[in-house]
């Protein structure tokens, strides 16, 4: 198939119609990037292979941007010498037309879907589901190497090659009959199998295979239910058997009950007789018991009387002993009492008196010491107070300059010095240099001599009388000097006043007085501190009070001393202490002894009380016993009244016993018969009734179970699973049979298909030789022998190239991108060449040689020219036509840029 021309409109950048015409040989589509070269090839594929009604996303993308225009294109092409023209409009009002060139005009053959189908059939493509993919292009996918294609889309390549080579095979060898049969086999195969040979989902074998487990599962479930029902029936059968057995047993039990009842009725008379005899026995027994009871009572009482008398004797002895104990304890208590009262206590009193005296002496001495301490403290405090008063008085009475006074004095003194200096400076100095020696000079007022040479300092108006000569009056230094002098005088007066105030004449004395003040102040401070320390615990008044109290205590203690031996007063403190300690120890001893005796007395008295109590109890018991004995004796006497004597009582008892015995014997005899005729049957009757009730209960239980099982069976079978089982079994049989049939049929078709494929492959594999041969020749030409062959797998899928230097093929992935692309281009060219024996086919290379270096490009041009000249229509798209200068015979088709069609 070759293309003559294509006209496109409203297609991406092509808004206006634009027509591109192609030569049979080498065509170079030249245009800048984004000029629309690939768009032309896109239009090829869409118009030739896509349904005109497709609205897939890829189809929508061919609309010019921001428009709702309908893309359309028309292609004129040749196949097997016939000229065809197909026009399609997509998206908006989609349409398609397929025309054939007949008799010098275009004859419209098909429209719409038929037009789509007609093109596809001619080009042996496949109906795409949505937008067409390379695998839908049939042979063209092997020969067109477009921008959107991967170099080697595996599946598509394999399919395309197979398609291409199978087409070749068919051109060479396939007859229409063979074609038809192969087609039927293929159709039959595709119905049941996927391309990979697996049973196709949804095919009949698959459908039946899936159906069988479903049916089997359902059948199994229903069989399970049937088994459940059978189990219930089995239970029911068991229950029915149980019911039967129990019914028999019940019948037997009831029969037995009836028989026993009859026996019981017969034994009714015997019952009455037994009752009467029992009554007689009871009466005899009562009578005997009464007499025996009386006798026993009398005997008991006699025994008790004897026992009581014995007890009386014992108790009497005991009471006597207790009385003796009482007396004994009494004597013991008195003895202890006397011991501590009359012996120990007086001694203790004496010792205590002595001890008190000694302690009083000791305390007196202590108090006296304390009194002395207190007094000393008082005196110290008073002394300090006196001293303090003296100092304070002196400080207040004696004028003593303070520090401030002295500071003032010093300041003034300084001022005065300063003033004097100023005065001196301001003063007039006058000196007399007299020719006459020893001339007296006097000043009025006196002027200060400054030098021995007779220079005078004149501070104010001063008149100098120079002896015998005359006078000189000096007015002074002016108002300022007067001020200074006034100030100086003021200060001097102040000094005088200060001195006078403090009664000193010299400065040193002032300082001495100030020092004295400081001393006084320091002493006063010290005295105050000392006073504070002395009175920190107790003040003076407190001490005085304390002293007074101590004196009182001393007086009190002295009064206690009173009758002490006089020599004690003179004993040393240690001796006093020693004597006190001795007395104290003695006192403790005596106290302990007294306590002991008192303890003993208390114990004796307690024992005495206890003995007294017991004696009382014993005495009461004696009285009680005697009363008891008398009572018992009286009772016996009363009891014997109805019998006369004890012997008569015995005799009566014997008679009653005999009577009772006889009645009992008669009763026993009757009872034996009663047991046989009434008792045993009664027990049996009760047992039998019990058995009947049990059986009835069991029967009821079994009946309920039977009802339950029947109900469950009824419920189960009401689900109508039996016929469902039948239907399922029938269906299963049908499905299995169908599965066998269709499986055999499908396997037969598959076997044919597989065999055909194997033989086809054998053929195609053989045919791969020419392709490989052609590619290898060009590969060596292109790479100058670096690679000498392409390695292909069984699907004629290129997997590597051979380097003559190495044994193993170099995988295609290891080649540079450019070389990889070039190999694929060579492969397509070889395919094209091989498949163009009878008619030229179109090979499209869309800008795939951009990575070829100039040398390679030159060689590629040679190859392209060879292919275009001898075999195929070649269309190459490029943005640079310079590398293709090596193709001498070429048609250059410019592609307008920027989407503005001319």
For other proteins, the binding residues (CB under 8 A) are 173-175, 177-178, 181-182, 184-185, 187-188, 226, 229, 232-233, 236-237, 239-240, 706, 709-710, 713-714, 717-718, 720-723, 725-727, 729-731, 733-734, 741, 744-745, 747-749, 751-752, 754-756, 758-763
The per-residue DSSP string of 196-257 comes to: TSSBPTTSHHHHHHHHHHHHHHHHHHHHHHHHHHHHHHHHHHHHHHHHHHHHHHHHHHHHHH
**Comparison of 119 and 702: residue with beta carbon closer to other proteins:** 702
Letter string b/e over residues 153-169, b meaning 16 or more CB atoms within 10 A of that residue's CB:
eeebbbbbbbbbbbbbb
**Comparison of 182 and 466: residue with beta carbon closer to other proteins:** 182
How far is it, in rounded angstroms, from Cα 16 to Cα 718? Answer: 79
Contact in structure between 778 and 826 (CB atoms under 8 Å): yes
**Least Å distance between CB 161 and other proteins?**
18
**Least Å distance between CB 154 and other proteins?**
23
How far is it, in rounded angstroms, from Cα 605 to Cα 597? Answer: 12
Using DSSP's 3-state secondary structure scheme, residue 132 falls into: coil
**Comparison of 113 and 231: residue with beta carbon closer to other proteins:** 231
Contact in structure between 785 and 804 (CB atoms under 8 Å): yes
How far is it, in rounded angstroms, from Cα 786 to Cα 801? Answer: 10
**Least Å distance between CB 218 and other proteins?**
14
- H helix runs in 339-454, sequence order: 345-397, 403-426
Cα–Cα distances in Å, from 536 out to 336, 381, 543, 550?
60, 11, 11, 20
Burial of residue 293 (number of CB atoms within 10 Å: 0-12, 13-18, 19+): middle
CA nearest 592: which of 783, 424, 344? 344
**Least Å distance between CB 32 and other proteins?**
50
- List 107's β-bridge partners, or say none: 100
Q: Which residue reads 């001898």 in tokens? A: 870
**Least Å distance between CB 708 and other proteins?**
11
Question: How large is the angle between the packed helices 479-502 and 403-426, nearest 10 degrees?
Answer: 150
**Comparison of 224 and 503: residue with beta carbon closer to other proteins:** 224
- For residue 77 the two structure tokens come to 């092409």
**Comparison of 450 and 732: residue with beta carbon closer to other proteins:** 732
**Least Å distance between CB 748 and other proteins?**
4
**Comparison of 187 and 519: residue with beta carbon closer to other proteins:** 187
The beta-strand segments (E) located in 760-811 are 789-792, 798-802, 810-811
How far is it, in rounded angstroms, from Cα 456 to Cα 477? Answer: 13
**Comparison of 640 and 717: residue with beta carbon closer to other proteins:** 717
How far is it, in rounded angstroms, from Cα 452 to Cα 432? Answer: 11
How far is it, in rounded angstroms, from Cα 5 to Cα 76? Answer: 5
How far is it, in rounded angstroms, from Cα 502 to Cα 514? Answer: 10
**Comparison of 710 and 777: residue with beta carbon closer to other proteins:** 710
**Comparison of 441 and 728: residue with beta carbon closer to other proteins:** 728
Contact in structure between 27 and 104 (CB atoms under 8 Å): no
Q: Could you say which DSSP state residue 434 is in?
A: -
**Comparison of 759 and 817: residue with beta carbon closer to other proteins:** 759
**Comparison of 240 and 469: residue with beta carbon closer to other proteins:** 240
Q: Is 698 left (phi over 0), alpha (psi -120 to 50) or beta?
A: alpha
- For residue 324 the two structure tokens come to 């003796």
**Least Å distance between CB 114 and other proteins?**
24
Contact in structure between 611 and 311 (CB atoms under 8 Å): no
**Comparison of 569 and 741: residue with beta carbon closer to other proteins:** 741
**Least Å distance between CB 176 and other proteins?**
9
Question: How large is the angle between the packed helices 268-338 and 646-674, nearest 10 degrees?
Answer: 140
**Least Å distance between CB 224 and other proteins?**
13
**Least Å distance between CB 61 and other proteins?**
42
**Comparison of 575 and 755: residue with beta carbon closer to other proteins:** 755
Cα–Cα distances in Å, from 146 out to 30, 133, 155, 821?
15, 11, 16, 12
**Least Å distance between CB 714 and other proteins?**
6
Phi, psi of 632, deg, nearest 5 = -60, -40
**Comparison of 334 and 729: residue with beta carbon closer to other proteins:** 729
How many beta carbons lie within 10 A of that of residue 242, not counting itself?
A: 16
Using DSSP's 3-state secondary structure scheme, residue 338 falls into: helix
**Least Å distance between CB 199 and other proteins?**
14
**Least Å distance between CB 793 and other proteins?**
16
**Least Å distance between CB 177 and other proteins?**
5
**Comparison of 102 and 233: residue with beta carbon closer to other proteins:** 233
Residue 509: which H helix or E strand, with range? helix 507-534
- For residue 110 the two structure tokens come to 């098909």
Residue 862: which H helix or E strand, with range? helix 854-870
**Least Å distance between CB 700 and other proteins?**
17
**Least Å distance between CB 789 and other proteins?**
24
HSE toward the beta carbon, residue 20, CA cutoff 13 A: 30
**Least Å distance between CB 92 and other proteins?**
43
Cα–Cα distances in Å, from 237 out to 242, 247, 459, 871?
8, 15, 169, 94
**Least Å distance between CB 253 and other proteins?**
24
Cα–Cα distances in Å, from 543 out to 389, 501, 546, 756?
21, 44, 5, 146
């Amino acid at each position: 198939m070759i293309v003559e021309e294509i006209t496109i409109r409203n297609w991406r950048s092509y808004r206006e119609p634009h027509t591109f015409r192609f030569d049979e040989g080498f065509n170079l589509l030249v245009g800048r990037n984004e000029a629309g070269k690939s768009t032309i090839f896109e239009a090829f594929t869409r118009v030739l292979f896509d349904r005109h009604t497709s609205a897939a996303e890829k189809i929508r993308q061919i609309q010019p941007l921001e428009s709702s225009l309908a893309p359309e294109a028309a292609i004129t092409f040749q196949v097997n010498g016939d000229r065809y023209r197909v026009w399609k409009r997509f998206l908006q009002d989609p349409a398609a037309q397929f025309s054939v060139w007949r008799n010098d005009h275009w004859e419209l053959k098909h429209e719409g879907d038929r037009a789509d189908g007609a093109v596809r059939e001619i080009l042996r493509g496949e109906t795409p589901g949505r937008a067409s993919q390379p695998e839908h292009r049939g042979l063209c996918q092997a020969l067109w190497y477009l921008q959107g294609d991967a170099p080697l889309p595996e599946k598509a390549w394999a399919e395309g090659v197979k398609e291409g080579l199978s087409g070749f095979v068919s051109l060479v060898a396939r007859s229409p009959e063979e074609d038809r049969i192969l087609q039927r086999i293929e159709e039959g195969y595709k119905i049941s199998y996927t391309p990979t040979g697996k049973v196709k989902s949804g095919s009949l074998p698959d459908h039946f295979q899936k159906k069988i487990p479903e049916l089997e599962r359902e059948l199994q479930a229903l069989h399970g239910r049937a088994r459940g029902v059978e189990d219930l029936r089995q239970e029911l059968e068991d229950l029915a058997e149980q019911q039967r057995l129990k019914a028999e047993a019940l019948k037997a039990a009831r029969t037995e009950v009836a028989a026993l009842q009859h026996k019981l009725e017969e034994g009714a008379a015997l019952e009455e007789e037994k009752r009467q005899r029992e009554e007689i026995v009871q009466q005899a027994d009562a009578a005997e018991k009464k007499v025996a009871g009386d006798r026993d009572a009398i005997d008991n009482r006699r025994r008790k009387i004897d026992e009581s008398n014995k007890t009386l004797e014992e108790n009497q002895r005991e009471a006597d002993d207790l009385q003796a104990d009482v007396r004994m304890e009494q004597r013991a208590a008195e003895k202890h009492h006397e011991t501590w009262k009359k012996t120990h206590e007086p001694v203790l009193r004496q010792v205590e008196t002595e001890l008190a005296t000694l302690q009083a002496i000791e305390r007196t001495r202590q108090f006296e010491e304390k009194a002395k301490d207190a007094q000393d403290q008082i005196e110290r405090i008073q002394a300090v107070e006196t001293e303090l008063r003296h100092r304070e008085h002196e400080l207040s009475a004696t004028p003593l300059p303070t520090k401030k006074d002295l500071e003032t004095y010093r300041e003034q003194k300084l001022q005065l010095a300063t003033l004097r200096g100023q005065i001196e400076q301001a003063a007039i100095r006058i000196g007399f240099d007299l020719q006459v020696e020893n001339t007296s000079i006097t000043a009025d007022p006196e002027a200060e001599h400054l030098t021995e040479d007779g220079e005078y300092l004149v501070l104010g108006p001063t008149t100098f009388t120079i002896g015998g000569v005359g006078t000189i009056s000096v007015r002074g230094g002016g108002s300022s000097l007067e001020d200074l002098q006034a100030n100086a005088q003021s200060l001097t007066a102040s000094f005088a006043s200060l001195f006078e105030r403090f009664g000193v004449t010299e400065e040193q004395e002032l300082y001495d007085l100030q020092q004295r003040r400081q001393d006084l102040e320091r002493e006063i401070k010290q005295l105050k501190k000392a006073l504070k320390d002395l009175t920190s615990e107790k003040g003076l008044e407190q001490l005085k009070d304390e002293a007074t109290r101590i004196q009182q205590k001393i007086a009190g203690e002295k009064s206690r001393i009173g009758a002490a031996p006089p020599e004690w007063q003179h004993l040393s403190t240690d001796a006093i202490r020693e004597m006190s300690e001795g007395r104290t120890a003695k006192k403790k001893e005596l106290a302990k002894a007294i306590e002991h005796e008192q303890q003993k007395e208390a114990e004796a008295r307690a024992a005495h009380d206890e003995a007294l109590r017991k004696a009382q109890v014993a005495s009461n018991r004696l009285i009680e016993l005697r009363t008891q004995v008398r009572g018992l004796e009286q009772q016996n006497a009363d009891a014997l009244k109805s019998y006369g004597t004890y012997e008569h009582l015995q005799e009566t008892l014997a008679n009653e016993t005999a009577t009772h015995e006889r009645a009992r014997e008669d009763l026993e005899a009757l009872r034996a018969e009663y047991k046989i005729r009434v008792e045993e049957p009664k027990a049996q009757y009760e047992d039998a009734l019990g058995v009947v009730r049990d059986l009835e209960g069991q029967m009821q239980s079994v009946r309920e179970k039977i009802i339950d099982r029947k109900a469950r069976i009824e419920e189960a079978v009401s689900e109508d699973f039996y016929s469902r089982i039948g239907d399922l079994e029938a269906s299963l049989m049908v499905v299995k049979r169908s599965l066998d049939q269709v499986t055999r049929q499908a396997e037969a078709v598959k076997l044919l298909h597989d065999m055909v494929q194997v033989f086809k492959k054998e053929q195609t594999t053989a045919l791969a030789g020419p392709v490989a041969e052609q590619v290898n020749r060009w590969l060596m030409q292109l790479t100058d022998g670096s690679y000498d062959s392409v390695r292909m797998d069984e699907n004629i899928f290129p997997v590597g190239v051979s380097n003559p230097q190495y044994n193993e093929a170099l995988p295609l992935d290891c080649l540079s991108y450019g070389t990889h692309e070039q190999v694929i281009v060579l492969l397509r060219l070889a395919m094209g060449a091989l498949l163009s024996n009878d008619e030229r086919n179109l090979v499209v290379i869309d800008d795939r040689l951009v990575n070829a270096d100039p040398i390679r490009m030159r060689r590629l041009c040679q190859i392209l020219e060879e292919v275009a000249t001898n075999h195929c229509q070649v269309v190459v798209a490029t943005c640079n036509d310079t590398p293709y200068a090596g193709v001498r015979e070429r048609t250059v088709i410019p592609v307008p840029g920027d989407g503005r069609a001319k």
